[in-house]
Amino acid sequence: MQQLERDVKMRLAARGVRLTRGRRLVLDAVATADGPRTASEIHGTLDTVPLSSLYRSLAVLVEAGVFAQHHGADETTRYELAEWLTEHHHHLVCVSCGSISDVTASEDQEAVVGRLVEAFAGSSDFAVSGHRFEIEGRCASCR
């Protein structure tokens, strides 16, 4: 966690943004989760941070590229660490309860994914910057 905070602080500093107490709390809450979290989930674990500040912190951290935003099965936005701070991964999305958990592909699998992405985008005039692979179904507790 130390290393993470240092990396983030540096990145924020490069943009003239501070890593304050509130932002550090939000960062830790998201970093220790095992999948993308909604604002209210985060707020639930952080009762010292008011909602308005939480949303502002989330926006700042997304803006700075520390968090990635994710719009999943339900209509609420979820936040997770950007990929330069974690491993590249994909998602198992539960169509019943909306929860999302992470899966990491092997190097070989990821190479296959990369080739597919190239093939799909190749035909259109589209500048690829990333991809998301989401697997839908029912999680262990909903099936």
Partner DNA sequence: GCACGAAATGAGAATGGTTCCTATTATCTC
Partner DNA sequence: GAGATAATAGGAACCATTCTCATTTCGTGC
Name the site residues for DNA (rule: CB under 7 A): 16-18, 20-23, 38-40, 48-53, 55-60, 75-77
Q: Give Cβ neighbours of residue 13 (< 8 Å, ≥ 6 apart).
A: 19
User: Which amino acid is it at 84?
Assistant: W
Residue from 38, 45, 53, 101 that binds a second copy (CB under 8 A)?
101
Query: What is the torsion angle, in degrees rounded to the nearest 10, for the CA atoms of residue 62, residue 36, residue 129 and residue 133?
Result: -170
Least distance CB 35 / a second copy (angstroms): 12
3/123 with CB nearer a second copy: 123
HSE (side-chain half, CA atoms, 13 Å) at 126: 12
Question: 91: closest CA among 109, 72, 75?
Answer: 72
Rule CB under 8 A: is residue 34 a binding residue for a second copy? Answer: no
Candidate segments 7-15, 19-27, 39-47, 128-136, binder of a second copy by CB under 8 A: 128-136
Binding pattern to a second copy, positions 63-82, x when CB under 8 A? --------xxxxx-x-----
